[in-house]
Structures are given as C-alpha cells and as structure tokens.
Amino acid sequence: MKPYVLKKRRKRPTLVTTLLRNYVISFILMLFVLISSCSIAILIAMLYFDILPKYNIYPNEIMVDDYTKIDSSEIESVNGFILILDKDFNILYKRGNSVINGDKLNAKDLNTMIYNSEDGVIEINPKENTPLSNFTFKTRYNSDKDFLLVVAIPKNVNTNFSLKHTRLSRKQFLIISVAICLLILTIIFILYARITSRYFIKPLQILTEGANKLAKGNYSTRIGMRTRNEFGELSDALNIMAQKIEEERKLKEKSEKARRRLILDISHDLKNPLASIMGYSDYLIKNEELSKDDLYKYLKIIESNSIRANSLIQDLFEFSKLESVDFKLNKENQDICEFLRELIASYIPMLEEKQFNYDFLIPDHSIKVNFDSKHLDRALSNIILNSIKYNKNGASLNISLDIIDNFIEICIQDDGIGIEQSKVETIFDPFVREDEARNSQSGGTGLGLAITKTIIEKHNGTITLESKKNEGCKFTIFLPL
C-alpha cells in the first residue's frame, strides 16, 4: 500500500469564496436574463409591429357592445375621430374631430372612406379633395349589436393602424415574453444547480462514500478528492486518519505475531534443557548403583543444561526489561574512547587464547559522549564475544572508533565464517540464529544481538551488519555525539 502523500494544495478557494463566486455568477446571469428578455421583447415588437409606432390604434381592440363606452381617447389625441353607423349608414354616434356634417353618410363620403381605407381594394379615385381625404379609415362591424365602427386617423400621424392577422395582441405578447423569460430562467437554474452540485453535492457524496467504507473497517480506502477547498482538506484528514489506523493495525498484527513467535521460541528453547535435566535426574534417582565416573558424567550434563536454561531465562529477563515502557538508561557524559579501550582490554586474554589477530584503532584523545556504560558494555560485548565464540582459532578482529559528522562510528569486524545473506536482515530479531545445531552446542540463546540492537536504539543510535557466508561480519554502530 502506497503511503498517502499530502499533496501541496495550491492557493485554495474556500467555500466562502466559492459561494461568493457562485452568487456573483448567478447575479450576472440574472442580469443577462433581464437584458436578453428585454432585447427579445424589443425584437418581437420590432418584428411584429414593424417598428414601434408612436400610437397603436386598432378598432378591434377598442370595440365594445355599448358604443358610447368606446375608448377613443387615443384617437382623439391625434386629432382623429370615430363614427358609429347603422345598416343604412345613419351616423348613430360620433366622437372626436369629426369632419362630417349631418347625421348620414352620403355616397361621396363613403367613396372617400373606402379609397382611404387601409385594406381598401376598391380603387375609386375621388377627383376632388374633401376633408375626409386627409384621414385613413378602418372599420369594424359589431354583429351582435348590428353597428359599424369607423375609426379615422389623420394621415400625417405615425400610427400602426393595422388589423393584420399576424399581429400579436398585448396579452399574447406578454405570454410569449413571460414564457421566453421562464425558459431562459429554467436553463440558468439548471446550469446553476449543476455548478452548485459540482462544488458541494459531489464532494459531499464522495466524502460520505469514503467515510462509510472507513466505518466498515476498510482502511485501505483512500478518498480521491480533486477540489482544493475545505472538502479537499477534510478528505486529506480522513485519508491520513485511515493510513494511520491501517499502519497501527499492521503494527499490532506484527507485534502480535512477534509475541506469539517469542512464546513459541521460549517454550521450545526451554523445553530441551529442562527435559534433559528431568530425564537425567530421574535416571540418577532410579539407578543408585552407578559408578562414580557415570555419576559425574550425568551430573555434568544436568549442570550444562541448567546453565543453558538459566542463561536463556536471564537473557529473556534482560530483553523484556529493555523492552518495557518504563525502562530508562542511566546515561552519563563520559569518554567513550577510554570506555572502549577498557572493554577491549578485558577480552584480550580470550583473544590470545584463541590466537586471534586483533587490531584496534581508537583515538588517543578523549571524546565525551552521553551513554550508559553498563548497557553499552553489554551491547558491544555481545558482538565481540560472538566473534570469538563463532569463529575458528586464528581469525582476526578489528575494532575502530571514528567521528563522522555528528556521530560516533564504532566498527567491529572479523574475517570468520560470516552469516548467510538471507539471515542478515533478521539476525537482530530475538531467537534468530545462523545454525540451530551449532548454536545448541555453543549455548547461544539467539537473544544477544536483539539485546544489543535494543540498547543501541535506546541511545538513539543505529546498528547495521554487513556479512556474507565465509566472508566475516562487519557490525557498524552510530551513536549521536
């Protein structure tokens, strides 16, 4: 599982800025709706009304059954007039600037009116100019009340005096305008909803989905959020939390495994010497007639197995003490060169006995370091004793101390049998040994290097091993100055 790397987020737009931006966008869109609907309205007006006229006078719009109530104010304002005629062309009613005298239309008047009618088809050219020739006429017949409405508008007035079939009534125009506005508004709201959903609903859905998976214990889940606002931060926090829980769980599993293995190893390592002690002591109890030599031989076996069991228990005790949470080193500021010289000196008799070639490179001047001499002695002794214990007579051992940057480097190197490369990684784990058979003879517990590593790490240092089979071992320790 790849560790979740917290991506460096660019300057993030917060939810507040996102909301503000959305509001500004919607405000601009609304403005656009207003402007566009006005433009459309003007366009329709221009298309259907030719050009917006000063006066819109339509006889069919002003027509009412009671002709005395006909609204002729607009017509009168442009010096026009209305006439109401019965079927015999008697003038029943007139209003406005009527240029007709008398109460009946004569043939001449009628002819002028037909000629000057907007929809006129009868071309009877009146030879003489009458007052009526200066007007444009439009008529509307009221079939219910059986009268004819005549609207007369002076020709010099710019009017839209039409009854074309395509013309929209004010009501229709209003309905169409409202419908177009509603359509544009709907489109804008759909767009706005989509934008809002992209910024708020989608991230929330992704977060909820991820959180649900985490709640089900699927800690390998990572929430893929591309937004760089608070949702992105929340998803980062959830991802880090999931990663930490996952790591903790793995660590717990690992330590549980190690604990089980440790118990198994301890019981296995204790079982052999104890079984041997029990077996031989039982044999001695049951056979009183044994010779002195045999008795000595069996007692020697019991003794060596007791020593083995005892050293195992002591190492275990020491190891668990080091591992316990309240363990503390007793550090003192002291000369590490002097300490190492004294430590090596104590092993010279053993090295001489095994005819080892040894060489030590330790600076003459003092280097003051904070360390626990008792525990560091134990750590380094394990390595030196292992070199003496596991290698044949005549092998060589080199120990050096150096300062590298802010660290003390201690190298302990031999040219002996070495360790299989596959074991180098795990050799510092408890109960790991190179060769089980050989170790039971040498009496090793497999805890020495585990104790060494724990002590070095408690000093905030590190220990590494470089080794190959038959090419010796090189332990390198770094301790902070």
Contact set with ligand ADP (CB under 6 A): 382, 386-387, 390-391, 414, 416-419, 427, 433-435, 439, 444-450, 473
Q: Least separation, in Å, of the C-beta of 349 and ligand ADP?
A: 19
- Cβ proximity to ligand ADP: between 319 and 339 the closer is 319
SS3 state at 170 = helix
Distance CA 208, CA 205 (A): 5
Q: Least separation, in Å, of the C-beta of 215 and ligand ADP?
A: 44
Amino acid identity of 97?
N
- Cβ proximity to ligand ADP: between 60 and 442 the closer is 442
Q: Least separation, in Å, of the C-beta of 259 and ligand ADP?
A: 19
Distance CA 27, CA 457 (A): 65
- Is the separation of the CB atoms in 470 and 417 below 8 Å? yes
- Cβ proximity to ligand ADP: between 265 and 414 the closer is 414
Spatial CB neighbours of 96, under 8 Å, sequence gap ≥ 6: 72, 75, 76, 79, 80, 81, 82, 152
- Is the separation of the CB atoms in 152 and 139 below 8 Å? no
- Cβ proximity to ligand ADP: between 94 and 474 the closer is 474
- Cβ proximity to ligand ADP: between 210 and 418 the closer is 418
Residues shown for the chain? 481
Region for residue 410 given its phi and psi (left: phi exceeds 0; alpha: psi -120 to 50; beta: otherwise): beta
Q: Least separation, in Å, of the C-beta of 12 and ligand ADP?
A: 53
DSSP 69: G
Q: Least separation, in Å, of the C-beta of 430 and ligand ADP?
A: 8
Longest Cα pair distance anywhere in the chain, in angstroms? 173
Neighbours of 297 (CB within 10 A): 12
- Cβ proximity to ligand ADP: between 166 and 426 the closer is 426
- Cβ proximity to ligand ADP: between 369 and 473 the closer is 473
Q: Least separation, in Å, of the C-beta of 421 and ligand ADP?
A: 13
| Closest by CA position to 160, among listed 78, 83, 81 | 78
- Is the separation of the CB atoms in 92 and 84 below 8 Å? yes
| Token representation of residue 50 | 């030719």
Q: Least separation, in Å, of the C-beta of 382 and ligand ADP?
A: 5
- Cβ proximity to ligand ADP: between 379 and 479 the closer is 379
- Cβ proximity to ligand ADP: between 138 and 308 the closer is 308
Distance CA 40, CA 33 (A): 10
Q: Least separation, in Å, of the C-beta of 416 and ligand ADP?
A: 5
Q: How far apart are the first and last CA of the chain?
A: 36
Q: Least separation, in Å, of the C-beta of 391 and ligand ADP?
A: 6
Phi, psi of 467 (to 5 degrees): -160, 150
